[in-house]
Chains A and B, each alone.
Chain A
């Protein structure tokens, strides 16, 4: 409730208006009360004057009985409750309260000081200022007024006015009726005030409800609906004030949002369709590509297989003949068949390399990498090449500086790489030695194959790892190869996070170093 604008505005406006009404009514009632009192005072003073006039002559003649009867007549008046007559000395000579008679009042008494200052002769103030009010023992208010009794106008010609005072009359009047009127006025003022305040509050509440709260609540509900995504929400515009304009602006805004959302949705659907179509096309294309790739691989394998078997057969027959198992040959025939043997060997090497390359790039039937001891593997490879090295008269040495030296790879890939390096080293070495070393350097295992072979020309060094690249000096010699070996070795080594390095001096020798991450690092 406290968090409602209506309540807050109502509270502030209501308090201000109520206070205004209260002040206005209090002021009016106060004015009215004062008027009533003045009226009573003027009436009282008139009666007192009349009484004083009436007893003047009797007093001058000291006719007490007459004075009493005249005053008795005055006390018959409703308002005049009591009357007292003082002589010039301040002694009560007559009173409706018999017990007071002969009592003397000092000049400092509150009823005296209105006219007398320090006991000096009176300076007469106007009658309205002579009155005084006090509360009696019964709780009702009284109005008292002192009226001087003079000798009479005819005497003023000779006597000083102050010396002609015979006494003073103190009339005490009841204010019961006046106070009752005042009470009525007050009650009426309070009642009308309460009714007016009630009307003010109800009116303010109604106006706020009608002109502020309702449109604001409509706007609030509309905003919530829009927030929930209902863009068709339109508000009733019930007035042409600021809030009405706000409602109209709200309607315009939601309509605009609706149009934008529609456009976006259309665009999104179009985009989605496009993406779907494109994805489908891509999937189909991809599938076709996979199929084509599968067929290509299949084709390559078939071709290789179909090539291998006949070449292998041819070479075996040729060797049968050159070994003179089936009959003698003349030297020319021997030499020519030797060439056929070599060509067959080259053809088989090419086919094998192509097959290896296909296997490395396809990862086909690839086993999971495992922990492999490079020392044991190198030893195995060296033993495989010992026959060829012996035949060529090349010394083949193996140095294992750290044994074992485990790396993570597949046996097949590592064997391929090491065999290939050994094959190159043995084949391109005419005389001298081939040395294989395995050692560990911090977190790497390093294998190097050094030979004292023909070497590689400086210009060829940067190209050695390219597919089908062969150095110029190689073709001068009898060694025949495909130029694929180092390229495949590099691919294999890099697959396991390794590096390959090649150092060579023409005519002196070549060192190929591969380094692989050590296991557990």
Chain B
């Protein structure tokens, strides 16, 4: 199996760098994008094994829009998405019942910012193994 490819989409360059640094310790192949359009372009270039996505609240919650776009596309809908959230930052979003809801938060996992390197790596590994099954 080739080196897993991971796509990071975040408008904050610091977090992109932090996430990238953490992931590269495990020899993942990391590509980055700073907004939704770039992210879609990267997905079109090469379908990643996992997408790490920020909500990008500052840009009108582009993260949500991106997640839904991917889920609607039959070619990409099976790519696992790990969302980096700081949900409490915004009181406007509240998900009924389960935290991860197919309509409201169409992602596979989420990790709260600030990132705990260990947790991030464990989560990515879990998503990768799920995808392989």
Interface residues of A (CB under 8 A from B): 304-305, 308-309, 311-313, 315-317, 319-320, 323, 325-326, 344, 348, 352, 355-356, 358-359, 364-365, 367, 370, 380, 387, 410-412
Contact = CB atoms under 8 A, between A and B. Distances in A.
Given A308-B89, A365-B91, A317 B96 contact: no
Interface in B88-106: 88-89, 91-92, 94-99
Interface string B41-79: 000000000000000010000000000000000000000
Contacts of A316: 14-15, 18, 113-115
Contacts of A365: 91-92, 94
B114 A313 contact: yes
Contacts of A325: 21-22, 25, 117
Interface in B1-29: 12, 14-15, 18, 21-22, 25
Contacts of A315: 114
Given A367-B96, A412-B94, A313 B15 contact: yes
Contacts of A319: 114-117
Contacts of B91: 355, 358-359, 364-365
Nearest to B94: A412
A368 to B, nearest CB: 11
A407 to B, nearest CB: 15
Contacts of A380: 98-99
A387 B111 CA distance: 13
A461 B90 CA distance: 33
Which interface residue of B15, B25, B91, B97 has the most chain A CB atoms within 10 A?
B91
Contacts of A411: 94-97
A410 B88 contact: no
Interface of B: 12, 14-15, 18, 21-22, 25, 57, 86, 88-89, 91-92, 94-99, 113-119
A356 B97 CA distance: 19
Nearest to B24: A325
Given A359-B91, A365-B92, A411-B97, A309 B12 contact: yes
A394 to B, nearest CB: 18
B111 to A, nearest CB: 11
Given A320-B18, A320-B117, 7 more contacts: A312-B114, A316-B15, A319-B116, A320-B22, A355-B91, A367-B94, A380-B99
A355 B14 contact: no
A308 B114 CA distance: 9
- Give the 10 A-B residue pairs with the shortest CB-CB distance, closest first: A315-B114, A316-B114, A312-B114, A313-B14, A359-B91, A412-B94, A316-B18, A323-B117, A365-B92, A312-B113
A356 B90 CA distance: 10
Contacts of A412: 94
A387 B123 CA distance: 13
Given A365-B92, A367-B96, A317 B14 contact: yes
B114 A344 contact: yes
B126 to A, nearest CB: 13
Nearest to B96: A411
Secondary structure at the A interface, as helix, strand, loop or mixed, is helix
A359 B90 CA distance: 10
Nearest to B122: A387
A489 to B, nearest CB: 15
A320 B94 contact: no
B88 A317 contact: no
B122 to A, nearest CB: 10
Contacts of B21: 320, 325-326
Contact of A305 (B22, B89, B114, B119): B89
B94 A410 contact: yes
Contacts of B95: 411
A323 B94 contact: no
Given A323-B117, A365-B91, A317 B12 contact: no
A323 B117 CA distance: 8
B8 to A, nearest CB: 13
A308 B116 CA distance: 16
A323 B25 CA distance: 11
A213 to B, nearest CB: 84
Nearest to A344: B114
A49 to B, nearest CB: 146
A103 B88 CA distance: 156
A326 B17 CA distance: 12
A359 B92 CA distance: 10
A325 B22 CA distance: 7
10 contacts: A308-B86, A313-B14, A316-B18, A319-B117, A320-B21, A355-B88, A365-B94, A370-B96, A410-B94, A411-B95
A304 B25 contact: no
Nearest to A360: B91
Contacts of B113: 312, 316
A275 to B, nearest CB: 39
Contacts of B22: 320, 323, 325
B88 A323 contact: no
A355 B87 CA distance: 11
A380 B96 CA distance: 13
Contacts of B94: 365, 367, 410-412
Nearest to A307: B89
Given A317-B14, A411-B97, A348 B92 contact: no
Nearest to A376: B97
A59 B57 CA distance: 170
B105 to A, nearest CB: 13
A307 to B, nearest CB: 10
A315 B115 CA distance: 8
Given A316-B15, A316-B18, A325-B21, A304 B89 contact: yes
A323 B18 contact: no
A302 to B, nearest CB: 11
Given A320-B117, A325-B22, A312 B86 contact: yes
Which interface residue of B21, B95, B119 has the most chain A CB atoms within 10 A?
B21
A346 to B, nearest CB: 13
